[in-house]
Structure 1
Amino acid sequence: MGHGGGPLKPFSLDASLLTNDGLPRAVTSGEGLRRAQAMTMLAGVLWGTSFVSIQLGLDDGFHPVVFIAVRFIIAFASALLVARFIGPLNPSLLKNPWVWGLGLTTTVGFLCQYVALGLTVATKAALITNLSLIFVAPMSYYWLKESFTPLKVGALLMTVPGIILLTTGGDLASLKGSEFLGDMLSLAAGFSWAFYIIITKHILRDPKVSVSSLTLWVMGTTAALVVPMGIGVIALGRASLGDVGNVGWAMAVYTGIFCSTVAYLLWTRGLRGVTATVSAVLLLIMVVVAAVMDYVFLDTEIGIVPWIGAGILLVAMVLVSLSPEGNGTSRE
């Protein structure tokens, strides 16, 4: 992978290192593929817990921008610790504009998500954010030359009723219950996340890029962009760290370590073995987790219809995992 910019296109690398779909050979074996899928879903579970965690932190005194700044300071520190132990730091990645692009999309996505969670409930925010799937599929087809089998297309189509039933209980009028601005910000977060998935997949086509170093510098570039914003908010008197309670600080630590460093390590490692679209489908597990946590911690009722929707999503995840091209077949 060169350090310059340029369009999203397949890398030209030693053919002995890759399969004909552009993935490292060690990852595309049956066991490696299942491990990649499991890592992706585990990351989705952790991210699913973040929606309620963020709401709890915001309710306990955190300003959204300051919360993000503190979260990514913690994330960068923990990612640095991990990278020092399991892999090279590889600071040369900072010369790659795509890495800064990841930091920018992360910053924009989280700013939209945090503000949205102050305007809408966690389950609905998770729903709209995960509409990134409708952006990822065409972007992956066009830029990454991903192929689509009938099984994969069927799984994609199943996600639409699954998401709707899970989050609305079959009553579309319930979508009017949140602020329009919160919905639009959640959609913007999903759009940013779609770009994040595509760019990360592009970078990972170079097998010499380590997951730990990429995670480190994504956390670092995000912190570099968002921390000055947090300082500015405090300097303008819009927020104070003294207003944050114990729950707020606990949520900052939890989201910084587990929902950032750990989740991104798992997801990035998993993305080496699955396509961008398959990753987006498997990550729908976070909608299910967000709904359950909404019920457990925020007393949001879940009836039989939402559980049917959750079941449909789980079936879609199984189908996309069973697709013979679920490990990333390219049309080239």
Structure 2
Amino acid sequence: MKLKTEDFLVPEGTKVELKKWPTLVKEFYTSKEEYEETLKKSVEALSDLQQLLYASNKYAVLLIFQAMDAAGKDGVIRHVLSGINPQGCQVFSFKHPAATELAHDFLWRTTCVLPERGKIGVFNRSYYEEVLIVRVHPEILKGQRLPDSLLDEESIWKERYASITDLESHLHRNGTKIIKFFLHLSKDEQKKRFLERIDKPNKNWKFSLADLEERKYWKEYMHAYESCLGATSTKHAPWYIVPADDKKNARLIISNILLDAFKALDMHYPEADEKRQEELKVIRKRLVEDE
């Protein structure tokens, strides 16, 4: 089965119904060995492209991962980006906002850590939490100390979508390539993974009662994701809905999407002009003559 990036793309202006998007598709590998070899090649290719990204120094790349608990975000980041030079990549995981962050607009804390040119930034959860968990739990808005006139349930989410897409358009115009992934996990598979976290001592730390409580809001989260994905997937900052019930398959899909996205950038190693070439000749001569 050939892996096609466009099969997972949410086209701009699409009304998303997650029940029509699979959480499991036919494997893009026939054995564990083939999976490992395919992923290894992708990791090596991404490493080369990251070096080119750094050398060309024209673009920044921002990767955003959103999902329900246990969908495999950490594993994707760990495996797919395992060959990336740590000096050229930063990963940020956003939890409940701290007091200082709540004193600013909802985009402030993520804007402060956007990647610079030549580097990759990874957001494990992101500003999208402000239209997901906050929408499912609107009481969180009260802690953000917004004026009452801005708390209209009919408009606040559309306004936040607009703020997000405006930011992403601005970043695109300034050389940041944004790629967004929603790891689409089924409720049954989440239950299976939660049980595994309980049954395996080395995974106990990954599970808490709060995870179980959030599971009660599954339908509300799916509605929030549907609205968000449809409203904020754009040509320059697209969403990809990745079937996540098979972790290995999800990693191959995401690595393929990343490779396509990097290759589409206009990146070249800097060419040495005549003056630089002469300088290099002098340096080379000195090195050859150096005892």
Fold shared by both chains (TM-score > 0.5):
no
TM-score norm. by structure 1 comes to 0.25
Rg larger in 1 or in 2? 2
TM-score norm. by structure 2 comes to 0.28
The structure, 1 or 2, with the larger RCO (C-alpha pairs under 8 Å, 6+ apart) is: 1
Q: Name whichever structure is richer in strand by fraction.
A: 2
Q: Name whichever structure is richer in helix by fraction.
A: 1
